[in-house]
Chain A
Amino acid sequence: MHETSHIVQVTSVRDETATVHTLEFDDSTMAAALPGQFAMVWVPGIGEIPMSVMVADGGRAAFTVRRHGEATTGLYNLGPGEMMGVRGPYGNSFDIRAGRLLLVGGGTGLVPLMRLISRAPPDADITLVMGARTRPEVFFADTARALLRPRPHCIVVCTDDGSYGRPGLATDAAADELSGGAFDAVYACGPEIMMYKVMRLAQDAGVFAQASVERIMKCGTGICGSCCMGRELVCGDGTVFEAGRLLANPDFGVRYRTKSGEVAYY
């Protein structure tokens, strides 16, 4: 899957929050991406960043981006008809189990979980815990409702400041869910400290768990090493890892590499 990048056109842009856009585009390659796989997305003249592939209707795919740095702001600012380059999809994907599934996501980390929902077995019973800092930062609630409607499900929205839904951290809600019922699998994506706690909770509960990890990526294909996490390359060995492997990794939840390769701590 290392063919050269190709240019796609943004077909529509949706406001998720004041700083988050979902950009849809027609592309059969990305529409076929598995939950957890990512694309390297090129905003010509501005930058290139890894983006998890978001669900969209029909043969379309989407990226959901929060404007933050130069490249994400460039992507956020793209309008309908404008061009971006995509290559991939790269990386592995979630091992989607049957039965009762607990999904825990925060912010744009919800993207691969939305895709996971769309690919889960029809009779899987899904509990989705969505975390945000404040009410205006909650997004994908409607998207999740629409995706989950045909199946047994439960949605728990949490805000850190208590301005909407359940007050407190997503990890607290996840802990309650895990202590309240028998789950067959747990999947997490979001801030690394959150994922670390969720993996720890799942392991303590003896439940199969995976998380999709984020690191700085330049090549996406196992060449540059920017995304190293201990002995793992997040792009090629992940982005999805099982809890046991993550919790045994000295970097997971602790430290990451900056653009220069210097070590920084969470």
Chain B
Amino acid sequence: MESSLEAQVGPLRLERPTVLASGILGISVEIFGRLHGAGAGAIVSKSISVEPRDGYPGPTVVPLGGGGWINAVGLSNPGAAAFAGMIRDNRTVPIIVSLVGSAPEEFSSMVERFEGCHIAGYEINLSCPHVDDVGLEVGDDPELVSRVVRATKSAASVPVFAKVGLGRSDYLDTVSAAIDAGADGITAINTVQALAIDIEAQRPKLSNGIGGLSGIPIGTIAQRCVAQIHSQFDIPIMGCGGVSTWEDAVALVLAGASAVQLGSALGYGSPDRVFADVNDGIARYMERKGVRSVREMVGRALA
């Protein structure tokens, strides 16, 4: 029996179900190509804004031990025009461009910048937990979510995903607003707002104070959210949060994810091995369980 690692996330077809999460390994097309060659089914870029951003002073990304990380990078990115120039010659790597901003017009103008670029989709960042006026502050306002998704959808000719996280309002309202506005899929979840204090220095470990928790500690939160979205909405989901092994990836699929994003796992594994190892593990699991496609497993744990 031949099983296939192909994944279908709504209109987005992926040769493999593992995707690089946004914010990880930045904005270099050469690095994207390397990760794609090493097994990633697609690459989500760092979140891109209209204008370039330097981000916060260090420390911006700090390991916490136990496979946990906290970060507040401050959305550093070269801006939409420069990034569009960087990826213009790409023909082979499925790049999903993550967009961040505070007004609907910013999103449509950024999409226009990417016209002519070979990209697989957009992911709207509605959940960055550590920058004012964008990310979670947009995600917490379902009416604004609706306008942002609509603006992006109307400008884009490729699938649009909305990335949600745990903010002040019920994230399921954000999901609902994004779906009503025409989102092709949901990415869940982003990092979870957190604070880590250094007791010797007697101050936060990050220059920004508040940051986003990622890695192993948030894996089960991600499973819960993916399962909730899957059970309440008819929408494809890219699961994200705490995936470092093939077991974590399978668990997210069984919770309801059609594909799985990896991020912090790159911090404890080789960029040349992490995706292949997870893909191989999923394939062996499917073989053992007599499953022919990733699609058959989506949401099976809660069916």
What is A's interface to B at a CB cutoff of 8 Å? 2-7, 40, 42, 44-49, 70-71, 83, 85, 87, 218-219, 221-226, 228, 230-231, 233, 236, 257-263
Contact = CB atoms under 8 A, between A and B. Distances in A.
B266 A40 contact: no
Interface in B42-72: 46, 52-55, 57-65, 69, 71
Interface string B74-89: 0011110011001000
Given A5-B205, A7-B201, A219-B61, A260 B55 contact: yes
Given A70-B57, A224-B26, A3 B63 contact: yes
A221 B30 CA distance: 18
B78 A228 contact: no
A259 B31 contact: no
Contact of A262 (B46, B52, B205): B52
Interface string B213-242: 000000000000000000000000000000
A70 B34 CA distance: 34
Contacts of B200: 6-7, 83
Contacts of B59: 5, 40, 42, 47-48, 85
Interface in B96-121: none
Contacts of A230: 30
7 contacts: A2-B63, A42-B58, A218-B61, A228-B25, A233-B271, A257-B28, A262-B82
Given A260-B78, A260-B79, A261-B26, A85 B57 contact: no
A221 B63 contact: yes
B281 interface: no
B149 to A, nearest CB: 26
A261 B73 contact: no
Judged by DSSP, the binding face of B is loop
Nearest to A45: B203
Most chain-A CB neighbours within 10 Å: which of B62, B77, B264?
A: B62
B207 interface: yes
Nearest to B264: A223
A45 to B, nearest CB: 7
B182 interface: no
Contacts of A219: 60-61, 71, 267
B19 to A, nearest CB: 16
Contacts of B133: none
Contacts of B83: 261
A77 B86 CA distance: 39
Contacts of B205: 4-5
B28 A4 contact: no
Nearest to A262: B78
Contact of B78 (A3, A83, A261): A261
A44 B198 CA distance: 10
Contact of B266 (A223, A226, A262): A223
B37 to A, nearest CB: 9
Contact of B54 (A42, A85, A259): A259
Contacts of B207: 47-48
